[in-house]
Amino acid sequence: MFSMKYKYLLAFSLLTAVGLALRPAPPAAWGFFGHRKINRMAVFTLPPEMLVFYKKNVDWLSEHAVDADTRRYASKHEAPRHFLDLDRYGTPPFEGLPRTWTDALMQHYQYFYVNGRGDTLRLVTQPIGEQTDSLAFAPRLAKGERVGVSRQVFRQFFNQQILPRYYDDEPWALSPAELSPLFGNAKLDCQSVFVVDTFSQHGVLPYNLEQLLRKLTDAFVERDAKRILRHSADIGHYIADAHVPLHTTANYNGQLTGQDGLHAFWESRLPELFAEENYDFWVGQAQLIEKPKDFFWDIVLTSHSLVDSVIGIERSLRGQFPPDQQLCNEYRNNTFVKTQCPEFAQAYHERMGNMVESRMQAAIRSVGSAWYTAWVLAGQPDLSGIGSEQATLPDSTDLELQKALKNGQQLGRPHD
C-alpha cells in the first residue's frame, strides 16, 4: 500500500505534468537553461557548512530557478522586479537616482489633490527657496498660503501613510484627516489627495534584491528549510537578471532601434548554442558581501556599461548578413520556429568576445555570495539538521502559479 504522502505527491506530479503539457512556456531571462545552470553552479561555490544543505537540494534550486518568471502571470507587481531602465535617469553613474527604496519612491511618485471646487491639481514637492530641507507641499491653506513641510516630517509621513499602500490598487487616496501629520489642524482647501506610482513601471531590480536578501537572512535565522530554498531560488533568478545588459535599458528588446528579438538572442540563444561546450562554470568560492546595496548596484551598473556593445554589434552584423541568413527555421517541440541562424549567432558571439560567458560566471559568483552573505548575517546557523522534504511538497502558492500560468496572460512588460 502506498502512504498518503506518496499518493499526494503522485497525484500532484500527474497534475503538474498535465499542466506543463498545456501551458505556454514563460519567457525567461537567460532562458530556462541559463537560469537553471546559474543556480545549480552557485551551489558549488558554498562552504561545507552550507553545502550540506544546498547540495541535497541542488535539483530543486535548479528547477525552481524560473519561478519568478512564472509569477509574471499572477501579479502585476512581478515584472518590474526583473529590470531597471537606467537610461531613463540620465547618464552614468545616474547619481540623481536614489539608491534607497523609500527615497526613490518619494522622489518619483506624483501627488495630486482635489480642491474644494472639485478641481484636480498637481501637488508641489520641491525645495522652498534656499531652505533645502523644506518642501512646498500644497494643497494651499483655505486662505491661499502654501505650507512648508520639512523633509524629515514628510519622510515619516510617507513611511506611515503611503509606503504601506504600495501593493494596493492605484490611485491611492488619502483623506484630509490622514494629512494631519503634515499640516496639523490647518484648514486646507482640499477634499482628498491621490498618489500615483510613476516609478515602478520602469523597474525596481536592485531595490528588490536588497529586500530579498533580508528575507533570506530571516529564513536562515528561523532555520526554515522551505523559505530558505524558495528565497534562494528567487534571489538567484533576480541576480542572474541583473547581469543581463538588456535588463538595464528601456531598449530591452532592441525594439527602439529596429532590432526586435535581440533580448532572447543574447540571453537565451547564445548560451543554448555555446555554453555547454565552451563555457567554464567553475568560478571559485562565494565571498562575503560587505555592502549589499553597493554590490547589487555595481552589478546593474556594470551590466548597463555593456548595453551599447550588445546593441551596436548586433546592428552592425545585420548589415553584413543577408536577411535569409539571419533567421532560420528550427524544429522544436514538434513545430518549426524562427530563430537566429547558427552562423549569424556564431558571428555575434565571437564579436562580443567572452561577454556572455563572463556575465554568466559573474552571476554564479554573485548568487553564491548572496546566499553565503545571508547565512553569515543570520549568525551562520547549523544547516545539517534541517530537512528539505517539506520544500518539495506543493502548496497553495504552487497551485495558484500553475493556474495563472495555464491562463497564459502575462502581466506587465514582457521580456521580449
Three cell numbers, residue 405: 500560468
pLDDT at 177 (0 to 100): 80
Q: What is the pLDDT of residue 111?
A: 82
Compute the half-sphere exposure of residue 151: CA atoms within 13 Å on the CB side of its CA. Answer: 11
Provide the pLDDT for residue 395.
53
Better pLDDT: 387 or 288: 288
Mean pLDDT on 122-144: 53
Q: What is the pLDDT of residues 9-45, one digit of tens each?
A: 333 333 333 333 333 334 455 778 999 999 999 999 9
- DSSP-based three-state secondary structure for 182: helix
Owner of C-alpha cell 547619481: 95
Is the model more confident about 402 or about 342?
342
Spatial separation of the C-alpha atoms in residues 288 and 369, rounded to whole Å: 6
Q: Give the model's pLDDT for residue 124.
A: 62
To 10 degrees, the CA torsion angle through 196, 199, 201, 205? -140
Q: What percent of the chain has pLDDT over 70?
A: 79
Percent of all residues in the chain with a pLDDT value above 90, rounded to a whole number: 57
Helix (H) or strand (E) holding 13: helix 4-22
CA distance 264 to 244: 11
221: CB partners within 8 A, 6+ apart: 378, 379, 381
* More confident position, 343 or 18: 343
Nearest to 111 by CA among 119, 102, 122, 103: 122
Rg, Å, the chain Cα set: 24
Q: pLDDT-derived band of residue 135, with 50, 70 and 90 as boundaries?
A: low
The predicted structure's pLDDT at residue 15 = 32
Asked if the model's pLDDT at residue 94 lies above 50, the reply is yes
What amino acid occupies position 100?
A: T
Grouping H, G, I as helix, E, B as strand and the rest as coil, residue 332 is strand
The pLDDT of residue 107 is above 90: no
User: 355: buried, middle or exposed (CB in 10 Å: 19+, 13-18, 0-12)?
Assistant: middle
User: Looking at the predicted structure, is the pLDDT value of residue 130 above 80?
Assistant: no
Place of cell 524562427: 338
Averaged pLDDT for residues 383-391: 71
pLDDT digits (tens, 9 = 90+) for 190-243: 778 888 899 999 999 999 999 999 999 999 999 999 999 999 999 999 999 999
Asked if the model's pLDDT at residue 389 lies above 60, the reply is no
Give pLDDT, residue 266. Answer: 96
Among 12-26, 243-257, 323-337, 398-412, the minimum mean pLDDT is found in 12-26
State the Cα–Cα distance between residues 29 and 245, nearest whole angstrom: 11
Distance between CA atoms of residues 144 and 135, nearest Å: 17
**Contacts by 219-227, CB closer than 8 A, 24 or more apart:** 219/374, 220/374, 220/375, 220/377, 220/378, 220/379, 220/381, 221/378, 221/379, 221/381, 223/381, 223/382, 223/383, 223/386, 225/53, 225/386, 225/387, 225/388, 225/390, 225/391, 226/390, 226/391
Examine the pLDDT at 178 and tell me if it is beyond 60: yes
Cell of 144: 491661499
- DSSP-assigned letters across all residues of 207-274: HHHHHHHHHHHHHHHHT-HHHHHHHHHHHHHHHHHHT-GGGGSS-TTSTTTT-TTHHHIIIIIHHHHH
Delimit the domains of the chain by residue range.
20-93+203-407, 110-196
Residue 233 to residue 383: CA distance in whole angstroms: 17
What confidence score (pLDDT) does residue 400 get? Answer: 58
Residues 255-292, buried b or exposed e (16+ Cβ, 10 A)?
A: eeeebebbbbbbbbbbbbbbbeeeeebebeebeebeeb
Examine the pLDDT at 182 and tell me if it is beyond 60: yes
Q: Which amino acid would we find at residue 202? A: H
Task: Provide mean pLDDT across the span 308-316.
Answer: 98
Least confident residue range of 148-162, 173-187, 275-289? 173-187
Distance between CA atoms of residues 365 and 126, nearest Å: 42
The CA distance from 115 to 191, in Å, is 6
Superfamily name with CATH number, domain 20-93+203-407: P1 Nuclease (1.10.575.10)
pLDDT of residue 402: 57
43/64 Cα distance (integer angstroms): 14
Q: Return the SS3 of 193.
A: strand
pLDDT in tens, 51-78: 999 999 999 999 999 999 989 877 888 9
Residue 72's pLDDT is 84
User: Which band of pLDDT confidence, cut at 50, 70 and 90, is reported for residue 146?
Assistant: low
Please provide the average confidence, as pLDDT, over all residues in the chain. 83
Report d(CA 306, CA 243) in Å as an integer: 10
